[in-house]
Structure 1
Amino acid sequence: MRLFIVQAMFTEYRPTHGYDEYFCREQSAPRADLEPLLSSLGAMGLAELNRSHASASNLLRRLGATFRLNGSGLHGGERILPFDPLPRLIHRQEWSVLERGLVQRLEAIDQFLADVYGPQRILNDGVIPREDVESSQGWRPQMQDIAVPLNRWCHISGLDLIRDGDGTWRVLEDNLRCPSGVAYFLENRRVMKRLFPSLFQGRTVQPIDDYPSHLLRTLQDLAPWSDAPRVVLLTPGVFNSAYFEHSYLAQQMGIALVEGRDLICEDGRVWMRSTAGREPVDVIYRRIDDDFLDPNVFRRDSMLGVPGLIDAMRSGRVAIANAPGSGVADDKLIYAYVPAMIRYYLNEEPIIDNVPTYLCSRDDDRRYVLEHLNELVVKSVAEAGGYGMLIGPHASSEEIESFAVKIKAHPRNFIAQPTLQLSTVPSLSEGELYPCHVDLRPYVLRGKSDWVSPGGLTRVALKRGSLVVNSSQGGGCKDTWVVSDSAVTAGNQELVPC
C-alpha cells in the first residue's frame, strides 16, 4: 500500500537522462534510502504539497527573505528567492568525504594565496604561469607581503559542487570573496520545519541553525590580540542585491551592521562611530568587493569603503574576512590549477575532482574549443550569476559566432567545459513534479579550526530543461538534508538500489 501511494504521486515523474537523486532512470525504482521521505510525501499528496508550497512563499515574504536584482532600485526588483519544498538528501557517510575534500581544497588555496602574495614559489617553479595569476581581475599586488591572521585568507567560503551524469561529485566553482546565499540556506530549513514537519519523520537530519554562532567564533578567532574582539559587518547598503542577508547575519550574530561612513581609521586602527563615541573595531566581515574597500589603495572614487583600512590591516590592528586579494583564487582560469595546488602544497591527490576544463589561453585548448563550441559550456572567467556564459547545445548559430569572436579577441578571458548532465531532484514546476537540475553550495568556515555546514544551499534550475541555477536567471533553492546512516531502512524489499 505504501509503495502504491508513493507511485501514485510520482506517476508522471520521468527522469529520462543523467542521475536522478530520488529515482533510478526512467523511474524503474525509487532509490533505496528514501523510503521514509517518499512515504511522507505520498501520504501528503500533490494537492496538499502545492498548497503548503504557496504558504511557504507567503511566509518567506513575511520574513523578508528577498533578493534584489542589481540596478533595479530599492523596490522595483525585490523578489523572493523561489523555494522548492522537496528536500535533497545526502547521507552522513557520503558527506564526510565531501567535508574532507572541501577542507583539503581550501587549505591548498590558502597556501597558494599566502605564497603568491609572498615568496611566489609556485610561480617560480612554473607550476602555474605567472601571467595567468597577474592578469587575473582578482589579483591585488597591493596585498604583497601583508601578513594575515592565522595565515588564512579565505575564512568564509562557498564552493559550488555538482553531481555529474554518473552521480560523481565534482567542484564546479570556488567562491572566495563574498559568497552569498547562507541566509536562504538557513531560512529554507526554518520554513520546512514549520510547514512540512511530517517530512522529517523517520529521519535524523543534521541541524544547521548554529551556523551564526560558528561564523561569529570564526571571525573572533581572527583577532588574537583581543580577549573580546569587536566584529562588524560592512555592507554597501540597502541597494545591494544581498542586503537581506547582510542584515540577517548581523542580527543573528548580534554584531553591528555598518556602512563605510560609519567607520574611520585613526591612530593606526579602525573605529566605529556611535552615539557613545568612538568604539574600536577588530574584525570586519566585509560584503563589498576589493575595489571599494579603501579609496587610498584601490578605487579612488569609492564612497563605500574606509580610507586607511589597508594600512590598518598591514599594521596588524584589524582583520578583514575574507582577506582582500582572495579573488585571484576564484578566477575561473585559476580554478583549473587547484588540483595542481593540492599536489604541490599538500602532496595529496584531490578528494573531489574538478570538472574537466579547457583554458582558451592555451593554443591547443582554444583550437579545440572553437571547433566544438556547439558542444561546450563557455564561461567568462570574471563574471558570476550565470552571466557571460554560452551553453553550446542550447545556443543559436549567432550566439556561437559571437562567442567565437570574443574568444579570439581575448582568449585569457574564457574557459570551456563539457556540457554536463547535472543531477536532478524532483521539484514543483507549474504545479507538477518535474526533474530539475541542481547544484550545491556548502559553506566552509576557517578560523582556528574548520567547520563545514551540514549540507548547504541547493540551487535549482526551475525552468524546465534549464541547466542554469542562478537566482538572477530564474533559479530557486531547496533544503538540503545530511541524514544519519542509521535512518536507512535495512532489508527493505520495496525500495531497491539502482
Structure 2
Amino acid sequence: MSIRWTDYPASGFYDELINQRGNARQPAKRLANYLARLGSDELQQRRQLADATVQDMGVSFTVYTDEGNIDRAWPFDIIPRIIPAKEWNQIAAGLKQRLQALNMFINDLYHEQAIIKDGVIPAYLIEKSKNFRPECIGVKPAFGVWAHICGSDLVRDKDGQMYVLEDNLRVPSGVSYMLENRAITKRVLPEVFSRENVLPVDDYPSRLFDTLAALSPRKVKQPEIVVLTPGIYNSAYFEHAFLAQQMGAELVEGSDLLVGEDDCVYMRTIKGRERVDVIYRRIDDMFIDPEVFNKDSMLGVPGLMRAWKKGNVALANAPGAGVADDKVVYAYVPQIIEYYLGEKPLIPNVETYLCDNADQRAYVLDNLDKLVVKPANESGGYGMLVGPHSTKKDQEKFAKLIKANPRNYIAQPTLSLSTAPTLVDGGVMEPRHLDLRPFILQSRDLYVTTGGLTRVAMVKGSLVVNSSQGGGSKDTWIVDTEAK
C-alpha cells in the first residue's frame, strides 16, 4: 500500500518533514518521495530488519524499576529527521557560544566569582547549589575548561524556532546511540542514504579522543586514556563500553585504578602498573573519591581528587562542572553569555519562571495545569510535572513541593514540540513529538556533532522523549542542499 503524504496529519504542530499542506519540506523531498514509493508493507519489513539489527548489534539500555533493572533493546524508528546544513551551521555556532560561556562561568565560580560580585548572578543561587563543590575552589584545569563534553537539549516550537531546553554538563549520555542510529539507517535505507548529501557523524570517537588527549598533563605522544564506568549495571554501560572500544581506550572500574605515593593515577594490568593521564569519568562527583565525597562509595578511586588537584591526571568532565547543570542556573545563561562574551545568545532559552521569586512563584502556583514544572537537578524526565497531562492530585503534590523548597523548582510554558513522521504498527505514518541532543566538545578546540541524538516520544500525544520514560530515537540527517 502506497503512502499519501496529503493524508498525513501535520496540522497543529511544526513537522520536521511535512508542512501543513501535506508537502515535503525542501530538504526532505527526496526522502518523502522514496518512502511513498516503498509503501507501508515494505516499510514494515525494513522496520523488522532494523529491530533485528538492534538485537544483533546488542544496542540496549537499562531501565531502573521497583522490580529491578531491566535491559531493553534500543527503541528505534527508521524514518530519519532532516535539518538543512545552512540552519545547522547557525545552531552549531550557538552551541559553541553557549559551552564557551558556561565554562568561563564555572571557572569564575571556583576562582574570583566576579559574576556574583557584579550582581549578575545572586550569591544564594550558588550557595544553595546542590552541585557546587567547595573542594574544587582554586583548581585550574587545562584551558580553563571544566565541562569537556556537553549534551544540550534542543526543541523546536510551533513557530519553527529552535530553543535550548537544558544543558547537560555532568555526565551527558546518548552519543553512542546517535552513532548506532546512523549505522542502522544505512543498513535499512541504503538506497536513499547514498543519494542524499548527509553530513557524517562517525568522526565523533576520534574527536572525543583528541579532546581528551589534549588534556594530558604529560606531554607524551600517546597519553593513556581510560573510561571510568560504574559497571555493568549502569543504564549507560553500553555507551561506556562502546566509546572505549571506538577510541581504543581502556574501560575500567574504580577497582582497576589506584593513586600511588607520588599522587599519580595508575591502572592495574597483567604487566604491572601503567600511568593514567586522562580519565573520562562516567561516575557522578559524589562517588569518584571516597576520601573526599561519599566515604561508602565502592565505585571511585581513593585519592583521585588529590591527584587531580596536583595536576597529575585530567578528569573529564571535571568535578564541580555540574554547578552549571542546574535548571535554575539555566535561566541565567543568556546573561552569562553576555557577561563573559559580550554577545547576545545565538539560540534562545525557553521562557523560564523561577519559583524562588515570589511573583513568579505565585504565577506558577496559579497555572500548574498549563506549565511544565522541573526540579533543578533531576535528569531522565524524572520528578517533572507536565501540567496539561496532570491530575489535580499531581498539581496539589507539586504545589506543596514548590512551597517547601522554591529554590529547587522552575516552570516553563508547555511548548508545542515539533513532530516528525514515525512508523507505527500497520505501516502507518503518524506524527510523534521529538527533541534533539547534539554533543559539544571543548578542550583546546570546540567541536559540535553534525546533528545529534533525536529522541522521540513513541506514545501518541506524549511530550516525554526520554528512553527511561518510554521514548525512542531516530537518525538525524544534516543535509547539505546547496552542495553540487
TM-score of the pair, normalised by structure 1: 0.94
Distance in structure 2 (CA, Å) of the matches to 1:23 and 1:130: 47
Q: CA, structure 1 residues 122+485, in 2 after alignment: closer, same or farther (shift >3 Å)?
A: same
Match of 1:94 among 64, 84, 87: 87
* 1:130 matches 2:123: yes
Q: Any conservation in 1 of the 2:155–2:417 contact (CA below 8 Å)?
A: yes
d(CA) in 2 for partners of 1:384, 1:42? 38
The separation in 1 between residues aligned to 2:248 and 2:67, in whole angstroms, is: 28
Shift of 1:81: 1.9
Structure 2 match to 1:52 = 46
Give 2:101's aligned residue.
108
Distance between the aligned counterparts of 1:195 and 1:143, measured in 2? 48
Match of residue 239 from structure 2: 245
> In the alignment, is residue 166 of structure 1 matched against residue 159 of structure 2?
yes
In structure 2, C-alpha distance between the alignment counterparts of 1:354 and 1:343, rounded to whole Å? 13
How is 1:427-438 mapped onto 2 (pairs within 5 angstroms)? 427-431=422-426, 432-438=428-434
Task: Tell me which of 194, 218, 221 is aligned to 1:225.
Answer: 218
Distance 2:481 2:277 in 1: 42
Paired residue for 1:494? Answer: none
Could you give the per-residue CA deviations for residues 305-350 of structure 1, whole angstroms, max 9, x where no partner exists? 0011111011100000000111110111111111110010000000
SS in 2 for 1:328: helix
Maintained 8 Å contact 1:40/1:201: no
The alignment covers a number of residue pairs equal to 481
- Rounded to whole Å, the distance in 2 between the matches of 1:154 and 1:72 is 33
Partners of 1:481 and 1:72 in 2: how far apart? 37
Tell me the residue number matched to 2:436: 440
Helix, strand or coil at the partner of 1:171: strand
CA distance 1:28–1:44, change in 2 (3 Å): closer
Q: Please tell me the root mean square deviation across aligned C-alpha atoms, in Å.
A: 1.5
Q: Could you tell me how far 1:32 is from its partner in structure 2?
A: 2.6
Unmatched 5+ residue regions in structure 1?
Answer: 489-498
Aligned to 2:463: 467
* Contact preservation (8 Å) 2:372, 2:386: yes
Tell me by how many angstroms 1:245 deviates: 0.5
State whether structure 2 residue 208 is matched by structure 1 residue 215.
yes
Residue of structure 2 aligned with 1:388, choices 383, 402, 417: 383
Q: 1:30 to 1:387 in 2, by over 3 A?
A: same
| 1:375 corresponds to | 370
**Is 1:19–1:164's contact at 8 Å kept on the other side of the alignment?**
yes
- Asked if the contact 1:37/1:201 (under 8 Å) is kept, the reply is no
Q: Give the SS at the match of 2:105.
A: helix
1:119 aligns with one of 105, 112, 115: 112
Change (3 A) 1:220 1:72: farther
Distance in 1 (alpha carbons) for counterparts of 2:423 and 2:74: 14
- Residue identity opposite 2:100 in structure 1: E
- Deviation track 1:365-392 (CA, whole Å, cap 9, x = no partner) reads 1010001111100011111111111111
1:192 corresponds to: 185
Aligned to 2:34, what secondary structure does the other structure show? helix
Provide the residue aligned with 2:139 in structure 1.
146
Map of 1:491 onto structure 2: none
Distance in 1 (CA, whole Å) between partners of 2:58 and 2:444 is 33
Check whether the contact 1:202–1:487 (CA below 8 A) recurs between aligned residues.
no
Runs of 4+ that moved beyond 2 A? 8-12, 27-30, 70-74, 485-488
Q: Is the contact between residue 227 and residue 279 of structure 2 (CA under 8 Å) also seen in structure 1?
A: yes
Q: Look up the match of 2:450.
A: 454
- Of the structure 1 ranges 220-229 and 449-458, higher mean CA displacement relative to structure 2 is found in 220-229
CA deviation after TM superposition for structure 1 residue 70, in Å = 2.8
* 2:334 alignment partner, SS class: helix
Q: Distance in 2 between matches of 1:486 and 1:263?
A: 50
Aligned to 1:205: 198
2:398 maps to 403
Note the alpha carbon deviations across 1:144-182, whole angstroms, 9 max, x for none.
001101111111111000101111010001001111111
Taking the aligned partners of 1:15 and 1:136, their CA distance within structure 2 comes to 42
Distance in 2, matches of 1:178 and 1:38, equals 36
Q: CA deviation digits over 1:32-78, x for unaligned, max 9?
A: 3322111211121111111111111111111111001136788x510
Aligned AA (1:481): W
Name the residue aligned to 2:291.
296
Aligned equivalents of 2:363, 2:93: Cα separation in 1: 34
Aligned match for 2:417, one of 413, 422, 436: 422
Instruction: State how far apart, in whole Å, the 2-side matches of 1:133 and 1:365 are.
Output: 20
Cα distance change of structure 1 residues 226 and 190 upon mapping to structure 2, 3 Å threshold: same
Matched letter for residue 344 of structure 2: E
Q: In 2, Cα distance between the equivalents of 1:173 and 1:48?
A: 38
| Conservation of the 8 A alpha-carbon contact between 1:173 and 1:332 | yes
Could you tell me how far 1:134 is from its partner in structure 2? 2.1
Q: Is the 8 A contact 2:116 2:123 kept in 1?
A: yes
Q: Could you tell me whether the CA contact under 8 Å between 1:36 and 1:201 is conserved in 2?
A: no
**Is 2:27 aligned against 1:61?**
no
TM-score after normalising by structure 2: 0.97
CA contact (8 A) 1:236 1:304 kept: yes
1:284 pairs with 2:279:
yes
Aligned residues of 1:429 and 1:464 also touching (Cα < 8 A):
no
Partners of 2:194 and 2:181 in 1: CA distance = 18
* Residue in 2 that maps onto 1:493: none
Counterpart Cα distance in 2 of 1:33 and 1:242: 33
Q: What is the aligned partner in structure 1 of residue 73 from structure 2?
A: 80
What residue is the counterpart of 1:484 in the other structure? 480
Distance 1:216 1:82 in 2: 28
Could you tell me whether the CA contact under 8 Å between 2:170 and 2:284 is conserved in 1?
A: yes
Query: Given that residues 70 and 240 in structure 1 are in contact (C-alpha distance below 8 angstroms), is that contact kept between their aligned partners in structure 2?
Result: no
SS of the counterpart of 1:333?
Answer: helix
Residue 455 of structure 1 aligns with an amino acid whose one-letter code is G
**Conserved 8 A contact 1:268-1:311:** yes
CA contact (8 A) 1:223 1:282 kept: yes
In 1, Cα distance between equivalents of 2:151 and 2:347: 15
The alpha-carbon distance between structure 1 residues 71 and 274, as it changes in their structure 2 partners (threshold 3 A), is: farther
1:258 and 1:99 mapped to 2: Cα distance?
32
Separation of aligned partners in 2, 1:301 and 1:108? 35
Question: Cα distance, 1:138 vs. partner?
Answer: 1.2
Whole-angstrom CA distance in 2 between matches of 1:52 and 1:126: 57
2:407 counterpart (412, 415, 423): 412
**Structure 2 alignment gaps of length 5 or more:** none
Task: Name 1:496's counterpart in structure 2.
Answer: none
After the TM superposition, which of the residue ranges 35-44 and 455-464 deviates more from structure 2? 35-44
CA contact (8 A) 1:73 1:239 kept: no
Distance 1:291 1:33 in 2: 46
Residues 217 and 313 in structure 2, CA contact (< 8 A), matched pair in contact too: no
Q: Distance in 2 between matches of 1:13 and 1:487?
A: 30
2:305 aligned with 1:305: no
